[in-house]
Structure 1
Amino acid sequence: MPFRADREVPGLIVKFGDYPLHHGGVGAIRSLGRLGVPMYAITEDRYTPAACSRYLERAFVWPTSGAEEPAYLVEGLLRVGRRIGRPAVLIPTDEEAAVLIAEHQDALADRFLFPRVEPGLPRRLASKQGLHELCAAHGVPSPVAAFPRSYDDIVEFAEKARFPVVAKNREAFVRRTRPAVNGTTKIATRAGLLTLARDWGERPGVVLQEYLPREEAEDWIVHACFAADSTPLALFTGVKVRSWPPHAGMTANAYVVDNPELADLAARFIQQIGFSGIVDLDLRFDRRDGRYKLLDFNPRMGAQFRLFESGSGVDVVRALHLDLTGRPVPAGEQRAGHRYVVENIDLPALLAYRRSGYTTPHAPHRPSGTELAWFAGDDPLPFLTMLARFVRPGAKHLYRLWRTNRRGGTTTAMK
């Protein structure tokens, strides 16, 4: 490997909320741990897959819901920093953590290393309305959207809308309040929309978007890490083959596919808004008008980031650590054709996609290599722990995510 990481500066996985089966955190622990970087993680308990990794120095058991007050979370994070005893690179795995770090940079700066950004930017990017406004301001295509403020607004929208439409929660912090919808929800009819909307209260916290039909679309992802001046340190593009729940959820299977046009679009947008650090973008290519439309902007590490690695051995987490410790990030081309598989959700996703008849035209017939989300020969315990925690409750959870909400012909999928 043509670089050495600073082994005196540890990394800390920061997560708020109860989602113990998170393969992204395990991937980050392995990625830096294999370079000799001491790794720490905040975990729900001592028996999460992340807590069982051989590359983890210590798990800080700190159950949170995501509904705590920011002051409480900041103080808890500082307490973890004091226990580590030296500045650590923060690696957030959810929007709550990314936004908290950005909005409390001064309080956290003495204990931790992290990219400095405009404090309100990550919250705006994580918000569906904030992202839509930024896209409009900078000429980046995104789905046509409406942001109703009342039930009457929804009725007016329903009179003119072309169905089906998609409903999503407007703000990122849906764990802090009762969410209007349980993830990305496809609504087939006007009657179905009005029925659902009756449960959304006086101020519906939703965005209603045009539906981009999967028969005329392709799902693309961009993972990247940007320097303080918003220039790319590492930038990768790939295509999502399968997700769970189908077509609207977490990546279950993906490939690295070179896409210079998409890479340029992402880099220009990041430069325009002045973001630095790791990003995970979801875009849909609409064959009807030939444009890539930005669906989601996650201002943090994505769970499937280990799909992407350059020929010089750099992924976005390694790029972040190298940059924040003052080391150069070596250039290198991405591993085109490389595949990523999330073992516990790809099999049900495969069965569902076969029934739907959907295939992506960009998946290579023979991958150049495969990265498994959970299993690793040098670190098997996270995989075994995942199986032990997943088999019974996990199967029930998959069913709940996939089942169709029959009210008004809606389909709900977690994102």
Structure 2
Amino acid sequence: MDHDVPALLVKAVHCPQQHGGLGALRTLGRAGVPVHAMVEDQFTPTAVSRHLAGRFTLPTTGLADPRLFVPTLLGFGRAIGRRTVAVAADDEAAVLLAEYSERLAKWFLLPEVPPTLPRRLASKEGLGRICAEHGVPTPRSRAPADRVALVGLGRDWGYPLVLKNREAFTRLRAPIVSHTTVVHDEGELLDLLGSCREPAVLAQEYIPDDVAEDWITHLYCGAGGVAHAVFTGYKVRSWPPYSGATTRAWSRPNPELARLAGELCRRIGYSGVADLGWRFDRRDGRYKLVDFNPRIGAQFRLFETWHGVDVVRAMYLDLTGQPIPGAPQRYGRMFVVGQLDVLSAAASARRERRMPQALLPRRGTERAWLSRDDPIPAVAEAVRFGGTVTRRFARATADSWRSRARRRNVLSTGARRW
């Protein structure tokens, strides 16, 4: 690999504990590529990696005006000093890189994707329309206009019901749920909505866990949507359980799924790295597309060929004019996200009342944080994770004490009145 061209990890969302970005930094850094990254502060796991060539400290929220985001990126390009491969670490960054590609092309090498396509794919409502246009199976879904319509939809379809924030940027400005959420009854739905009158959510049919399997495809497509690297895997666990981000997965062959993903990208002309989530419904024997993330997936390092090419390396090679060596996918690899997988396993065991599968790592396991050649990010993540747990425990304890105090006040007031 000719590794003279630098790369920049681009973020638009505040997420200091993002292992997908760290994976991109490591895979290119190990190949000798000088990798720069946007980081929230100097102590994030990405910022302390030995593979980092340079960092730009910029606390991002995803709420900034894109007209300010683009000049900032151009400034980073000038600071690096030559055209750079841009790697989108979140949906919002992918959307901005595509929509402002003409202005950014002076300093950055970007996939030749239609400018409006990443925004449509990142939108849960937009993805549903694309699937309908191209005959791709997907769970039944609808974007209710308001609170009344959403409650009525729950009564018509029945529960459980799956809720997702509708748009890429809306999930930051006016989030209804923090992640894909399964609502089990109307009372739970009303509690979730609070006083919100016009929730920007997509309601989706729930496919029961006992008739479903979760699969993922990661791929890189060149100009015109031609797939240069397609990988398939099976999702074992997630956090939160059954609906969140992957915490443990296997690299497994699935030719049908690889064909579906590659064909979809070819039809819509998608170019770039993508992470697609599928739910196999045993009731009708079909794979149903539930997510299309137009950027690197958090678990992309699970997948590589026998030549060591993953989707990030494939993109780097293609954008720098180098051939992508052809080789089959390495199967049997496992990906694990440390502490979160332990929490997921414990929650699953409690719910299912049995020991969870695949508790221990095996040979060839790719870890999200821990790495022999780059150990410091795992230490930084452990510190941040411990701080997060402590803060949440303190908030929960304080809420509990306040609730008890309110109950005591109510009881004492009632006793005096009596």
The residue aligned with 2:402 is none
The question of whether the paired residues in 2 share the 8 Å contact of 1:147 and 1:207 is answered with yes
Matches within 5 A, 1:128-143: 128-143=124-139
1:116 matched to 2:112? The reply is yes
Query: After alignment, is 131-140 or 150-159 more displaced?
Result: 150-159
Separation in 2, partners of 1:362, 1:224: 27
The question of whether the paired residues in 2 share the 8 Å contact of 1:224 and 1:280 is answered with yes
Q: Are residues 347 and 227 of structure 1, via their aligned partners in 2, closer, same or farther at CA, if it must alter by over 3 Å?
A: same
1:395 is displaced (CA, Å) by: 5.6
Separation in 1, partners of 2:224, 2:6: 24
The residue aligned with 2:44 is 48
What whole-Å deviation, never above 9, does each CA across 1:301-344 have from its counterpart, x for those lacking one? 01111000100110000000000000010111111110011112
1:166 is displaced (CA, Å) by: 1.0
Matches within 5 A, 1:98-247: 98-194=94-190, 196-197=192-193, 199-201=195-197, 203-247=198-242
Q: Are residues 359 and 82 of structure 1, via their aligned partners in 2, closer, same or farther at CA, if it must alter by over 3 Å?
A: farther
Q: Which amino acid aligns with 1:112?
A: F
Unpaired runs of at least 5, structure 2:
397-418
1:182 is displaced (CA, Å) by: 2.4
Q: Are residues 60 and 226 of structure 1, via their aligned partners in 2, closer, same or farther at CA, if it must alter by over 3 Å?
A: same
1:151 is displaced (CA, Å) by: 2.8
The question of whether the paired residues in 2 share the 8 Å contact of 1:236 and 1:334 is answered with yes
Unpaired runs of at least 5, structure 1:
402-415
Q: Which amino acid aligns with 1:252?
A: T
Separation in 2, partners of 1:57, 1:300: 22
What whole-Å deviation, never above 9, does each CA across 1:101-129 have from its counterpart, x for those lacking one? 00001110010001021111000000000
Separation in 1, partners of 2:46, 2:269: 32
Separation in 2, partners of 1:236, 1:285: 17
The residue aligned with 1:25 is 21
Structure with max Cα Rg: 2
The question of whether the paired residues in 1 share the 8 Å contact of 2:348 and 2:356 is answered with no
1:360 is displaced (CA, Å) by: 12
The residue aligned with 1:369 is 364
What whole-Å deviation, never above 9, does each CA across 1:73-99 have from its counterpart, x for those lacking one? 101111111100011100011011000
Q: Which amino acid aligns with 1:79?
A: G
Question: Tell me, what secondary structure is at the counterpart of 1:193?
Answer: helix
The question of whether the paired residues in 2 share the 8 Å contact of 1:95 and 1:298 is answered with yes
What whole-Å deviation, never above 9, does each CA across 1:352-382 have from its counterpart, x for those lacking one? 1222339999979995511111111111111
1:328 matched to 2:323? The reply is yes
TM-score by length of 1: 0.90
The question of whether the paired residues in 2 share the 8 Å contact of 1:280 and 1:301 is answered with yes
Q: Are residues 214 and 360 of structure 1, via their aligned partners in 2, closer, same or farther at CA, if it must alter by over 3 Å?
A: farther
Q: Are residues 358 and 27 of structure 1, via their aligned partners in 2, closer, same or farther at CA, if it must alter by over 3 Å?
A: farther
Separation in 2, partners of 1:267, 1:214: 26
1:278 is displaced (CA, Å) by: 0.2
Separation in 1, partners of 2:294, 2:278: 15
1:159 is displaced (CA, Å) by: 3.3
Separation in 1, partners of 2:354, 2:280: 14
1:386 is displaced (CA, Å) by: 1.1
The question of whether the paired residues in 1 share the 8 Å contact of 2:19 and 2:298 is answered with yes
1:291 is displaced (CA, Å) by: 0.7
Q: Are residues 361 and 347 of structure 1, via their aligned partners in 2, closer, same or farther at CA, if it must alter by over 3 Å?
A: closer
What whole-Å deviation, never above 9, does each CA across 1:19-52 have from its counterpart, x for those lacking one? 1111111111110111111010000011111111
- Structure that is richer in helix per residue: 2
More contact order relative to length (CA 8 Å, sep ≥ 6):
1
TM-score by length of 2: 0.90
The question of whether the paired residues in 2 share the 8 Å contact of 1:239 and 1:363 is answered with no
Aligned residues: 396
Structure 1 counterpart of 2:292, from 297, 300, 306: 297
1:384 is displaced (CA, Å) by: 1.2
Identity fraction in percent: 48
Q: Are residues 398 and 242 of structure 1, via their aligned partners in 2, closer, same or farther at CA, if it must alter by over 3 Å?
A: farther
What whole-Å deviation, never above 9, does each CA across 1:161-214 have from its counterpart, x for those lacking one? 12111111111113541212222221112344345445332x321111111111
Separation in 2, partners of 1:205, 1:295: 17
The question of whether the paired residues in 2 share the 8 Å contact of 1:25 and 1:50 is answered with yes
